[in-house]
Structures are given as structure tokens and as C-alpha cells.
Structure 1
Amino acid sequence: MWQRVPCAEDGRVTEIITGWYLSPLELLVLLGAAAIVVARWLAPAARARVTVVAGTVLVLSVIVLSVAGLRWQMLPVLAGSVCALPSAVSALLRRRSGRPVWRARWWLALPGSLACLGLIVTGPVAAWAFPVPVFPTPSGDFAVGTRVVQWTDPHRPETATADPQDRRTVVVQLWYPARRSPADVQRARYLGRTEHEARTVSDALARYAGLPGFLVDGVPRARTHAVFNAPVADKGGRFPVVLFSPGLGGVRTQNTAWAEELASHGYVVAALDHPYDSAAVVLADGRTIRTRITSTGDDEDDERAVETTRIRAADLSFGLTQLGRVDRGEMAGPLTGRLDTGRVAVTGHSLGGAAALQAARQDRRFAAVVDLDGYPRDPDPDSFHQPVLGLTQAITRETDPRYIPRLTKVLKLSTGTSYRLTIPGAAHLTFMDAPLYLPPVPSMVGSLGRTEGPRLVAAATLAFLDSTLRHRQGDLAGVLSAYGDLSVHHPENG
């Protein structure tokens, strides 16, 4: 697909050609490098012209890219051109000096040319595998605004530190229906309010996943569709609210595409960073709090996950309390009077999904739950009244055999109708933004492609929220079954 997508970087505007996941300048570098290699096989007159033109294009493009920010994917392209350059320049100098152009026998030159082309091809392959993410355009009627707030709970101590005066603090990012902004307004950066925050979070996420940070250096370059602090939409009345908790080590922005899609359809999404759990949380004073939790790989014996789930559930309830204060005008903000805190869903991915389930059981203010592939963690679950949508990855031999029975048990505890939807081709990371920027390896991000998985997850979520929060009439089970394998748990069935 040759869709050209604007991507602002430090005030400069470039474009990513999504079929190649390269900017036009990077594409010129690629073509210039390839032309230098191919020039070796042309007739002397054409060889000289191609070398001059290709070399000029290559050098100028590299200079501009060096100022804008050279991605590591271009390094093998440059290496291939540097290896081919001596042969091309030598022939050019010999021709200009009047000396005959010496040419090695083809069977001696061919391996070198192929090696150079191999290096050059590595560039676009790497750009395809680890691209600058291009976010799908939200499909709703509203533009999307975003803002970040920081709240401290004076009644809860921070258990991760030894300071008895330390109180629990969360950082929350809001996505909300907004007025249309001019086309040239800069869009919000992915992963952070500033380049420094985005790179700090990106490096922390890579480290948490065991990846070298440079592999995902394109992620903090991305821009989303939201506009920071955009005016709230004039129409729409009071908006239903969706609170979101990320996965273990995850961050508030990990489901940005999903959040923007919901906001474009008239919801306010409030996603939380959980300090000492999220990979990195940058506070308002500039301090960075890094995670102190790592996954042991043993779901049953990891008691820390149970405790972390409990803390997250309390964070979600606190977030809802603060949003109520925002709506009532007790805290200044553009969303005063626009939040319908009587229509609130609690949601989460992975461990965040477990926290959402636990928060709903403990806090009756939540009206619905969406669990994005989260293994329930409450050691002693009890009945609760909210309907639940549990979205799960495709079930394989590698899936924890306890997962589906445990999730089903929890869904049956709800006194409302609940749904378990298994999406064929989905993996655990399908339920976040990861398919947009990680290699499309099915075991990692599923087999649905870069955008189809996130689209299906958002569409199923919207159908459930429209039915449970907005009470829209229709066959919800019929709509959800179009997205995968559906099980419906009616309260009368126990």
C-alpha cells in the first residue's frame, strides 16, 4: 500500500510511504546506493553519468537525514554504497584523466556487487520489520484531543517506597472528542508529551522486553492523530468514560490507536500509568520512575502479580473519583461538565484486564468491564453485577490450559450477560499498538496484519460499550460473533 502519511518530527514534516515504511528521503538514499552498485556494470559513458548523479543524490539526502535524524535502518544501505563507491569513483577519475577504465572480470566483480546489494536490501527489510508506526485514522465523527494529568491520592501510602510520607501517584492520559483542528496543527507525539519522555519510555519498554533500544528507535518518532489540549467538541453532551490499565510493564499510551478510535466515537478514555509497575513513568517534576517488577513466567506462583493487581484496581477506582471531581469543577479542566461518570467502563490489557475485573467487583460505580486478554488474578473472586466482554487471543497448544476455565468461571460470576470473544489469528500483543511497529511474526503479534488486529479489537469494544453504556438496541451477540468465536454467559444460566 502506497499511502503517504504525514509524520511531524521536531517541527519538520516528513512523509512515510507505508508500503516501504521509508520516507521519500530514505527512498532516495536507497535508490542512490543501488544506482552506484549498478553503475559498475554499465558502459563507461553511462557509468560516469550515473555515478555522478547517484552520488550527488545520495550525499545530499544523507546530509538532510543526518539533520532530521538518521534511522539505524539506513546504516546497511550506506555501508553497501560505501563498499561500492571506490570502484565507481576510480572509474570516474580514470575516465576524466584520459586513462583507460579498468574493469575486473565479471566473475570477480559479481560477488562484491551482490554483497553490496544485499546490504542495501537489508535497509528496507529492517524498515519494514521495525517501522515508524503509522496510526490508523479514527473512523468516528469526532476529532480527538488529548491531555495528561497527574493525581496523588492523599489517603493511600506508596507501598513501593520506604518513605512513610510518600503517597500513591498516578499519571493519566485522556483522549476525548474534540473540535477539528487545522490540518497544519502538530499532532501528539506517541509515548510522551516531549521527545525526551517518548524516548525514555521507548527505551524502557525495549529493555523490559529484552530488546536492544535501537531496534525500536522509530517508535518515539511517530505522531498520532490526537492534538494536545485541543478544545473539547461542542456537540455530544456528556461523554461516557472508559478507564484503562495497561499490561505488566506496560504504559498508558500502549493502546493509543484503540483509545483514539473510542474517543472519535464520543467516549473519553482515561489511561493510567502505574508507577513502579509501568516500564517508565515520567512525572510532572521530571523524575522518571522505573518498574520494579518483572514477570517470573509462572502465573500461579507469582504472588507479586496478585498484589500488583490489587494496587492497580485501587488506582482505577481513584482515577474514577478524580474524574468525578473534574466533571464537578472541583479541579480545573476543559472537561468540566462533560463527563458522564454514571456511564463508566473499566478496561485493561493483560494484567490490566485482571485489574479491571477486580476493580469492578470492588467498585459498583463501574457499569461495564472489558478485559483484553487478561488472566484473572483475584484469589477469591465473588459475584459482581457488571456485564463483561472478555477478548482473548487464539487458543493454541501453548496457551495456559488454566486461562479459559478461569476466565469462564469469573464471567459466570457476573449477574449481567457477559461475553467471551476469541479472535482467530490474534496473539497477546494484538490487543495493543504492538502490531503497528513490531515485526509481523504471528507468534508475537498475531497473523492479522499491522492494522486489522487493532481494528477488530476496537470494533468489538465499541459494539459492547455502545450496548452497555449507551443502551443502544440491537443484537450484540450477533455483532460480536462476526469478529470471532463467541461464548455468551447469561445470568440465568449460572
Structure 2
Amino acid sequence: MTEPTAGLPLSAPEALTVLGAIVLVLARWLPRRLRGPAALAAGALLVGSVTVLVVTGLRWQMTPVVATAAVVAALALAPSMARRSGRTPWRARWWLALPGSVVGVALVAAGPVSAWAFPVPEFPAPSGRFPVGTEVLEWSARPDGAGRDPEPRTLVTQLWYPAGRSAPDARRAPYLGRTEAEARTVSAALADYSGVPGFLLDGLPRSRSHAVPGAPVADGGGRFPVVLFSPGLGGVRTQNTVWAEELASHGYVVVAVDHPYDSAAVVLSDGRTLRTRVAATGDRAKDEALAEGWTRTRAADLRAVLSRLERVDRGEAEGLLTGRIDTGRAAAAGHSLGGAAALQAARQDPRFDAVVDLDGFPHGPVGDRFEQPVLALTQEIGPGTDPDYLPRLTRVLELSEATSYRLTVPGAAHLTFTDAPLYLPPVPGIIGSLERTEGPRITAAATLSFLDATLRRTPVDLPAALAAHGKVTVHRPEGAG
């Protein structure tokens, strides 16, 4: 496997392949005395770089580059073959060769352009003082009672936590799973769920995050607040890795949940893969009823995971973080449907002290007043946005007995609040109009300010801190000044 060169969408062998192909295509337009040496040098370069790519894994983005080089090389060799067979070599007139060269350059350029549009994601380094470790835990939970899963649910959770120093060459965690094989399975499932060809996301299994699997927990003996995370509908536990690693580097334990039969694919330790069973029908009323059921199930999962973490902290269940998880300072968080589940879990369970809702519509009954403060991050609500979204979210925020906040992030889209901007094409309707790393950075920075103020009671001018990232709407409880 070859890694992209820093700041470029191509690895070194890929960049050399593109260079060799360009020289080969343009050699015909060089002075006669330079054509042969240039073509020979480009061919030698291509043989070496393409061999490396074949051995390490040829990305689909390089296919037009390699194919174009092969065709041009065959055309370049044709005159020599003709002379050897005693035939007169044929040479295309310039007005015929020019369009072919333009097409060849365009096909070669398609390689780096497509690699830029669908890159191997490079994760920004966490800014906190702690290195980051990660651990995957798996266990069975009782059925949620919603009737969707009569058998016990197997919950796979991934923890990101403050770690001690690891060796410089320590293996970093693959992005989408415990192993590259698991990452490939999950990547293919995400593509299938999204309705796009699987090869478009083949860069995801190649990526590495900054967390080190099984790294020792940070020294000092302190206990860390915990943040539980539920991904979006069909999403997976790693979909907000940038956010999770940033929080962990600042002293939080982040625990993300794969919801069985909801997440695109959940790969179990015994090798089984649980595929999603969720799908919209197109009927608004039916889909809302389905979403309410999915939200209840996810909320029950979050509550079950918090109970399990309490056992891990007491040493009654396996885990690296025995005695280091402060479940007395816990937040529920989620993206999209996961945000709705976080809201519901907190309203049902007073063990949660705060909620972070990343652009999630609050499904289910609004209900009575609740105690926890909420931070809701949303895209800009315009004419094309669900007209029920903002009124319903506002009603929920106003039911909180604590001051809550809605941060509207300019230029954001629904996927801005995930890792998607790092690996999807920069199309505003898909990932927003912010730079690739800006959306994940804002999401993490706003969350940190809110959690520091609510879980750690750090003196923070929260409205001002949030206002640095967009428009802030403050919802104070009734009777508050």
C-alpha cells in the first residue's frame, strides 16, 4: 500500500506514473532529436512506478493514466515494428495527432483530478496535550423491547481515550475497522447503502487515523468524562473519527456505537457481518413512524452502553479503562438520527448530563421538560430544508431546564459535521462549501467548548466561544434572566 504524499492526493509512485504518462504523450511534439530519449526515459519510469503500484495496490484513479500510457507506448513502438518487418512506417499528420494528444493529456489528468475528488483521507492531528489510544469492545445487550430485534443485540463500540506516549512507529488504527479486511467490508457496505459504486470509496480502507490501538492510558490517575456517540442512519461508529480523536486528546473518553441492523455493516469478532435492515419507504408518515422506532432502539443502546461502561470502570467487565471513566460526567451525542437518539436517551436517563446534537431532527414525541443542556449544530435552514425541522428543534431546546444553544454553521451541509469532507468531492450540496478540514474542526471545537462548560464546569463564555464558528441562538429556561 502506498500513502499519499503530504499535501497531494497522490503517492510518490502515482505521481511518477502521471509524470511518465504526460511525457510519453507529449514526446511526439518535441524536437526530433529529443523524441526518442524522452519516450525511452518515460517508458522506463512508467515500468518502475506501475510495477510498484501493481504490487502495493493500484487505485482506480490510476486506471486512465496507465491505460493511456499503454496505448501511447504501443503507437510509439509501431514505426519500429514496421521497419523491422520491412514495411514503411506510417506517421500521423499533425492535425490528426493533435486531437489525440489532447485526449491523451485529458485522460492522464483525470487521474490526479479523480484522486483529488475521492482522496485517501488524511486526518488532521489532534490539538490536545494527550496522544490518543483506541479500543474496540463487543458484548450482547438485552433486546430493546421495540419488537425489531427479538434476539439479543450485539453491540460493538469503539473507545478513543487519552493515552500515554507510544513508540514513533506504533501502528495506527485503520479508519473503518479493527483490520484492513474489516475496513474494506465496511467501506463496501457504506457505498452500497449510499447507492454509489464501491470503487469510489476504495481510499477509505487505506487510511489510518492518529489513534494507536491498545495504547496505555495516560498517566496521572485522573478520571475522564465520557461522551457516547450514535452515528447517522446507516452510518458507522468511526464516521466522526476526527471529532472523537480531538475530544480524546483534550481529556475525554469518546465511545461510539455500531447499532446492529442499522449501521451499514457491523463486523463482529467471530467474523459475522450484520448488514443494515433500515430503509426509507418514500411515504412521509410511514418513514416518520420508522424513524421513531429506530430512535427508540438507538436510545436504548446508548443507555445500555453507559451501564456497561460503569461496569468497566468498576473492573467488573473487560476494558483498558478500569478506574479511569467518570460516568458521573457523561454526555450523549450523535449525528442526524443519532442526534435524535442522544436527545431521547438523555431525556429518559438522568445519568446523562449534557447532549450534543449534530444536525439531528428530533424524532418521536416532544414530551415534558428535561434537565440537560443541549448544543445543537445545524446547517443553515433555508427554503429547501425540512420546514418542520427548525420549529421542532426549537421546541425541544426550549423544554430544557438548562440554558441550551443552537449553532448555525455558515456554508455547512448535513455531512459537514462528519468525516465525509475529508474523502468526498467538494460539492457544496454534499459536504458544504467549507474547506475539507474546516467542518470537522468546527464541529470538534464547538463541542469542546460546550463540554468543558457543562461537564467540567470550566469558566467559559460559551456564547462567545460558539459565535466564533457561526450564528448562536441561546435558549434559556423559563424564568431565567
TM range, smaller chain: over 0.9
Moved more, 346-355 or 325-334: 325-334
Per-residue Cα deviation, 1:355-406 (whole angstroms, up to 9, x for no partner): 0000010000000000000000122422110000000012222111110110
Question: Is 1:170 matched with 2:155?
Answer: yes
1:85-484 correspondence runs (5 A)? 85-91=73-79, 103-154=91-142, 156=144, 159-161=147-149, 166-235=151-220, 237-296=222-281, 300-302=285-287, 303-484=289-470
Query: Which whole-Å CA distance do the structure 2 matches of 1:128 and 1:95 have between them?
Result: 43
Query: Which whole-Å CA distance do the structure 2 matches of 1:198 and 1:248 have between them?
Result: 19
Query: Which whole-Å CA distance do the structure 2 matches of 1:95 and 1:34 have between them?
Result: 26
- 8 Å CA contact 2:366–2:396 kept in 1: the answer is no
Query: Which whole-Å CA distance do the structure 2 matches of 1:33 and 1:51 have between them?
Result: 10
- 8 Å CA contact 2:230–2:298 kept in 1: the answer is yes
Query: Alignment identity in percent?
Result: 64
Q: CA deviation at 1:30?
A: 0.3
Secondary structure of 1:284's partner? coil
Q: Which amino acid aligns with 2:228?
A: L
- 1:58 corresponds in structure 2 to 46
Q: Which amino acid aligns with 2:248?
A: A
Secondary structure of 2:377's partner? strand
- 2:17 corresponds in structure 1 to 29
Secondary structure of 1:321's partner? helix
Q: 5+ unaligned residues in a row in structure 1: which ranges?
A: 1-8
Query: Which whole-Å CA distance do the structure 1 matches of 2:327 and 2:294 have between them?
Result: 25
Q: Which amino acid aligns with 1:456?
A: I
Per-residue Cα deviation, 1:209-234 (whole angstroms, up to 9, x for no partner): 11010111111110100011111111
Query: Which whole-Å CA distance do the structure 2 matches of 1:49 and 1:306 have between them?
Result: 68
- 8 Å CA contact 1:171–1:273 kept in 2: the answer is yes
Q: Which amino acid aligns with 2:140?
A: T
Query: Which whole-Å CA distance do the structure 1 matches of 2:135 and 2:46 have between them?
Result: 41
Q: Which amino acid aligns with 2:433?
A: S
Q: Which amino acid aligns with 2:259?
A: H
- 8 Å CA contact 2:146–2:296 kept in 1: the answer is no
Secondary structure of 2:100's partner? helix
Q: CA deviation at 1:296?
A: 3.8
Query: Which whole-Å CA distance do the structure 1 matches of 2:134 and 2:44 have between them?
Result: 43
Query: Which whole-Å CA distance do the structure 2 matches of 1:225 and 1:27 have between them?
Result: 25
Q: CA deviation at 1:156?
A: 4.8
Q: CA deviation at 1:95?
A: 8.9
Secondary structure of 2:376's partner? strand
Per-residue Cα deviation, 1:5-45 (whole angstroms, up to 9, x for no partner): xxxx4xxxx43135430001000000011110011112233
Q: Which amino acid aligns with 2:137?
A: V
- 8 Å CA contact 1:48–1:92 kept in 2: the answer is no
Query: Which whole-Å CA distance do the structure 1 matches of 2:379 and 2:18 have between them?
Result: 38
Query: Which whole-Å CA distance do the structure 2 matches of 1:18 and 1:365 have between them?
Result: 43
Q: CA deviation at 1:186?
A: 1.5
Normalised by the length of structure 2, the TM-score is 0.96
- 8 Å CA contact 1:51–1:89 kept in 2: the answer is no
Q: CA deviation at 1:90?
A: 3.3
Q: CA deviation at 1:481?
A: 1.0
Query: Which whole-Å CA distance do the structure 1 matches of 2:415 and 2:280 have between them?
Result: 16
Q: Which amino acid aligns with 2:52?
A: V
Moved more, 405-414 or 44-53: 44-53
- 8 Å CA contact 1:25–1:61 kept in 2: the answer is yes
Question: Is 1:490 matched with 2:473?
Answer: no
Q: CA deviation at 1:158?
A: 8.5
- 8 Å CA contact 1:30–1:77 kept in 2: the answer is yes
Aligned residues: 479
- 8 Å CA contact 2:141–2:152 kept in 1: the answer is yes
Per-residue Cα deviation, 1:335-355 (whole angstroms, up to 9, x for no partner): 000001110000000000000
Per-residue Cα deviation, 1:143-168 (whole angstroms, up to 9, x for no partner): 0000101121246568445xx5x212
- 2:56 corresponds in structure 1 to 68
Normalised by the length of structure 1, the TM-score is 0.93
- 8 Å CA contact 2:231–2:334 kept in 1: the answer is yes
- 8 Å CA contact 1:157–1:167 kept in 2: the answer is no
- 8 Å CA contact 2:131–2:211 kept in 1: the answer is yes
Q: CA deviation at 1:182?
A: 1.6
Secondary structure of 2:254's partner? strand
Query: Which whole-Å CA distance do the structure 2 matches of 1:474 and 1:284 have between them?
Result: 42
Query: Which whole-Å CA distance do the structure 1 matches of 2:470 and 2:283 have between them?
Result: 28
Secondary structure of 1:112's partner? helix
Per-residue Cα deviation, 1:395-438 (whole angstroms, up to 9, x for no partner): 22211111011000000010000001100000000011100000
Query: Which whole-Å CA distance do the structure 1 matches of 2:360 and 2:421 have between them?
Result: 18
Q: CA deviation at 1:101?
A: 7.3
- 8 Å CA contact 1:84–1:113 kept in 2: the answer is no
Query: Which whole-Å CA distance do the structure 2 matches of 1:357 and 1:372 have between them?
Result: 11
Query: Which whole-Å CA distance do the structure 2 matches of 1:473 and 1:442 have between them?
Result: 36
Q: CA deviation at 1:102?
A: 5.6
- 8 Å CA contact 1:48–1:91 kept in 2: the answer is no
Secondary structure of 2:478's partner? helix
Q: CA deviation at 1:298?
A: 5.5
- 8 Å CA contact 2:144–2:297 kept in 1: the answer is no
- 8 Å CA contact 2:137–2:156 kept in 1: the answer is yes
Query: Which whole-Å CA distance do the structure 1 matches of 2:81 and 2:404 have between them?
Result: 76
Q: Which amino acid aligns with 2:213?
A: F
Query: Which whole-Å CA distance do the structure 2 matches of 1:381 and 1:92 have between them?
Result: 82
Structure-2 change in CA distance of 1:243 and 1:285 (3 Å): same
Query: Which whole-Å CA distance do the structure 1 matches of 2:307 and 2:237 have between them?
Result: 18
